[in-house]
Amino acid sequence: MSPSLSVDDLHVRFRTGGDPVHAVNGASFEVASGEIVGLVGESGCGKSVTARSIVGLEEPGEIVGGNIRFDGTELTTADDRTLQHLRARELALVSQDPSTALNPVYTIGEQIAEALRVSRRPDAQSLLRELAVGASSRLRSRKTRTRVLELLETVGIPQPEERIDAYPHQLSGGMCQRVLLAVALAREPSVLIADEPTTGLDTTTQSAILDRLDALTDSTEMGILLISHDFGVVAERCDRVLVMYDGVVVERGSVDSVRSNPTHPYTKALLGSLPGRSEPGTRLPTLEGEPSDRSVPPAGCVFADRCPSATADCRKTNQPVVPVGDEHGVRCGVEEARDASLESMPTSAADPAAGDWRSDERSSADRRQTRTPAADGGALTQRTADGNEAPTAPPTGSEGWIDQPERLDRPAQPMQSDQPVIELEAVTKSFRRSDGLVDRLPWFGSDGQIRAVRGVSLELSAGETLGLVGESGCGKSTLARLITGLEEPTEGTVRLRGDAVGGVDTRTTDQLAEIGTGFQNPGASLNPKRTVGESVAEPLSEAGWADSRRDERVEELLSLVDLSPAFADRYPHRLSGGQRQRVAIARALALEPSVLVLDEPTAALDASTQATVLNLLADLQDELGLSYLFVSHDLDVVRTVADRVATMYLGRFVEVGPATSTLSDPAHPYTQALLDASPRRSAADDSDAVRLVGEPPSPKAPPEGCAFHPRCPAATEECANIDPSLEDAGASRSRCLYAPDWTDDEYEHEQRRQRTNHAETNDR
């Protein structure tokens, strides 16, 4: 196939108040018609800058070298009118965050109609023209409205006639992402650039969006550049993969070749740090060090400073692409580094210093590390059993560039006490508005109520991690807000150490200090005008701590999360994603809580940074005896960190049990569906996968019988009439009439028949 899009030796630079930042340093790749090419790498490696440069939106950066060609047209020297026409008709960019890409004052139908108008008249894109064409007039044409409805249906928006006049805030995150895709497809582009299109979405929504991209590629021969920090997504969906580091493509090849034979040390590090590769109860391998600040263009290999096999020549000479197979190339000149297998890297559960991790001969004091960062935030010391500190010696040889995995210092079972730290008894949360537009929104019932949480009971013990999983809108965040006191239950009781508690306004100072909160996007939760030290100190100031004591505590907290005291004077924009998450964790720990409620704490992080944060959370739990409520869409992450897992659907728990057994042998078909939608599921198992159809029912009117039966591939007539309770089903408790035997042979024929019917419905 001839390439529709070709990028050759691209260099992009940003001029700042100080030294320039060389964001892209010689990236080269092609995207052919009808293929999906994945671009992966750590946050800040230049993926998004590359994408925006292709469509001429690189400002405030500037292209200082290289070529970008689309169907023979050189884009780096093209005038604004040419780029405007290409963006209107041929090249489409789908941004990562629909909350900022969609205009909140226009309906989704109006925004798609605007894309249609621009594609037909690309020269009419001035502000005056925008003001002259009223938003409401864009959908008056029957032809335009019909086309908008077709596009909404194409991207999988259910009941498009009902949602065409909805505003972005009235739709879920997954639906908004589909709207962005519809806006891009309105132009019928030849190449679609999708920049992290599924980050932060639950596995079923993610799978549905990626299914749409697959179908569009097959039906239109559209080429797709799929940018992601999730190697699992790329491995499952793409034809070829590009691995980028510091603005350079260091490895490229077919997905099968790169996945089965990763050759560049950086690619091996990314694959090795995926949580699905490590056994539960082990530390995740992490890539040591940080990417360069890129204030000067690299003279040699961009990965040399973090690679154990780097030679003097690596640091001086730009490495050529070395072929390692058919259409598989790598920028690495050290043969021993290329030949080292992924299996030889420390991705197992073995601790090289202590032999088999299953042996408990070493005491916990021997294993525990006291993290005392040096001024640069990098060096560590290790406290020995006698209390003396010694520098931690870096590993040597081929394993020296990656942090060694070892057993997490946690007991086989979470620490138990007679009294749970957190207890919920039959908690229900209903939202009601007595007046206004909210009552007329489609998901509110005639009584103006939506029941986000319905009769949930749970206990969280000291030192325990409870993973909470489920699709967006199932009630996870509302449940977390009930525990933290940001919401009060409509019915039922929330207890903290045995005492019934209400909202934050009614809790004592000590009760408020018991629970800390970590958010999905630390960049949004940190005030950009405050230094790190000021942000971490904020809870202490609210609690009335004296200045001297407060400063001492801030330094202690930064050390606890592996940051040096020098970070206290930095602002959030000067931190990496992983560093910002550490700061957010430090702030959550300020008042010495016993419980942390963590809402998607690693969703926006790349694999290596995610592994570092998960290891930190495990260390803090061991050291401080913390309990975690860990909300996540990533089931591999939950399997790694959680002792127990609760699956939530339509405001209720449908399965609760030990994390390892529940996520390997579920007792409820909904848990199995979430697992099967995970991008890291083996393609060989796809024929038996449980696929969900449609969106979850509205919480205003849950279905009769089992709430899951309208989407369940194994549902029977009985399921539509009987509402099952949460009952023992093997190691778990399940809200299923047939648990734990819902996958037995007697149901297999029904499952296959209904899967076939669902597939035929989708095709139509």
Token pair of 350, please?
A: 């073995």
**Exposure of 28 in the CB half-sphere (CA atoms within 13 A):** 12
- E strand or H helix at 218: helix 203-220
Strand 732-734, strand 652-658: pairing: antiparallel
Instruction: Give which of 340, 370, 367 is closest to 355, Cα–Cα.
Output: 367
- The pTM of this model reads 0.80
Helices 173-185 and 142-154 cross at an angle (nearest 10°) of 120
Average pLDDT over residues 549-564: 94
Q: Is the pLDDT of residue 546 over 80?
A: yes
What is d(CA 293, CA 236) in angstroms, rounded to the nearest whole number?
A: 32
Q: What percent of the chain has pLDDT over 70?
A: 80
d(CA 168, CA 196): 19
Produce one character per residue of 51-65: b if its CB has 16 or more CB atoms within 10 Å, e if not.
bbbbbbebeebebee
Question: Taking residues 58-78, what's their average pLDDT?
Answer: 92
State the residue for tokens 């848990």.
Answer: 671
pLDDT at 645: 98
Is residue 364 within 8 A of residue 409, CB to CB? The reply is yes
Q: Measuring CA to CA, which residue among 742, 747, 758 is closest to residue 693?
A: 758
Q: What DSSP designation does 351 have?
A: B
User: Phi and psi at residue 38, in whole multiples of 5°?
Assistant: -95, 140
Question: How many other β-carbons are positioned within 10 Å of the β-carbon of residue 221?
Answer: 14
Cis bond upstream, residue 189 (ω within 30): no
Q: Is 74 helix (H, G, I), strand (E, B) or coil?
A: strand
Percent of the chain having pLDDT more than 90? 49
Q: Does pLDDT of 168 surpass 70?
A: yes
CATH 3.40.50.300 corresponds to the domain 1-90+189-203+214-260: yes
Q: What span, in angstroms and rounded, lies between the C-alpha atoms of 297 and 301?
A: 11
The CB density around residue 49, as the number of other CB atoms within 10 Å, is 22
Neighbours of 17 (CB within 10 A): 4
Average confidence score pLDDT of the chain: 81
Place of tokens 């060096």: 379
- Beta bridge partners, 727, equal 734
User: Cα–Cα distance between 161 and 512 in angstroms, integer?
Assistant: 46
Q: Tens digit of pLDDT for each residue in 403-442?
A: 434 434 444 344 555 689 999 999 999 987 544 444 444 4
Tens digits of residue pLDDT in 580-591:
999 999 999 999
| pLDDT of 387 over the 60 cut | no
Q: Please report the pLDDT score of residue 142 as a whole number.
A: 86
Ramachandran bin of 153, using left for φ above 0, alpha for ψ from -120 to 50, beta for the remaining angles: alpha
Q: Which residues fall within 8 angstroms of residue 635, CB to CB, at 6 or more apart?
A: 203, 469, 663, 674, 675, 678
State the Cα–Cα distance between residues 764 and 761, nearest whole angstrom: 5
Tokens of 718: 């009985």
Distances 65 to 8, 294, 692 between C-alpha atoms, Å: 9, 16, 47
C-alpha span between 16 and 62 (Å, rounded) = 12
Query: Tens digit of pLDDT for each residue in 246-295?
Result: 999 999 999 999 998 999 999 998 888 888 777 777 788 888 877 777 77
Could you tell me the sign of the dihedral formed by the alpha carbons of 550, 556, 560, 561, in that order? positive
Cβ atoms of 595 and 422 closer than 8 Å? yes
The total of other beta-carbon atoms located within 10 Å of residue 228's CB is 26
Q: How confident is the model at residue 27 (pLDDT cuts 50, 70, 90)?
A: very high
Residue 704: its pLDDT value, please?
94
Q: What is the DSSP string of 271-336?
A: HHT-GGGS-TTBPPPEE-S-----SS--SS-TTGGG-TT--HHHHHSPPPPEEEETTEEE----HH
Nearby residues of 149 by Cβ (< 8 Å), 6 or more positions away: 160, 161, 164
* Backbone phi and psi for residue 348, each to the nearest 5 degrees, phi listed first: -90, -175
Token pair in block for residue 570: 């930095």
pLDDT tens digit string along 184-219?
999 899 999 999 888 878 888 888 888 888 988 888
Distances (CA, A) of 552 to 215, 495, 545: 57, 33, 11
Location of structure tokens 């640091």: 315
**Average pLDDT for 522-534:** 89
The residue ranges of every structural domain in the chain are: 1-90+189-203+214-260, 102-186, 264-349+360-403, 666-763
* pLDDT tens track for 659-695: 999 999 999 999 999 999 887 654 445 657 777 877 7
- The set of residues, in sequence order, having a beta carbon less than 8 Å from that of 236 and lying 6+ positions away, is 210, 679, 680, 681, 683
What is the edge-to-edge ordering of all strands in the sheet holding 223-227?
A: 91-94, 191-195, 223-227, 36-40, 240-245, 248-254, 328-330, 322-325
Residue 133 contacts residue 215 (beta carbons within 8 Å): no
Cα(first)–Cα(last) distance of the chain, in Å? 30
